[in-house]
Amino acid sequence: MNARRPRGRFQEGPAISDENPIDYKNIDLLLRFTDTGGRIRSRRRTRTNARNQRAITVAIKRARHLALLPFTGDHVRLYGADD
């Protein structure tokens, strides 16, 4: 029989608040949700709910389009991927 672990309530990460809103101009906040390679981190890693994850994704893509955030990390641009 496949015993499943009970799931607890999903807890919000501490990064998002009324004083620190999700916005494409809030670069310090958006950098918390990207890894060193410049990729958007998953919900499981950032501990955000689905609504905030979608807003973060849109904000990161807008900031990239306006050249406020890089599409890749420095080491990827300079030396290539680690594959």
Q: For 5-63, what is each residue's pLDDT tens digit? A: 777 666 666 668 888 889 999 999 999 999 988 899 999 998 899 999 999 999 999 99
pLDDT for 27 equals 93
How many CB atoms are located within 10 Å of the residue 83 CB? Answer: 3
Q: Which domains does the chain have, with CATH numbers?
A: 27-77 (4.10.640.10)
Residue 3 pLDDT > 90: no
pLDDT given for residue 52 in this prediction = 92
The CB density around residue 53, as the number of other CB atoms within 10 Å, is 18
Q: What is the dihedral of CA 29, 32, 37, 38, to 10 degrees?
A: -30
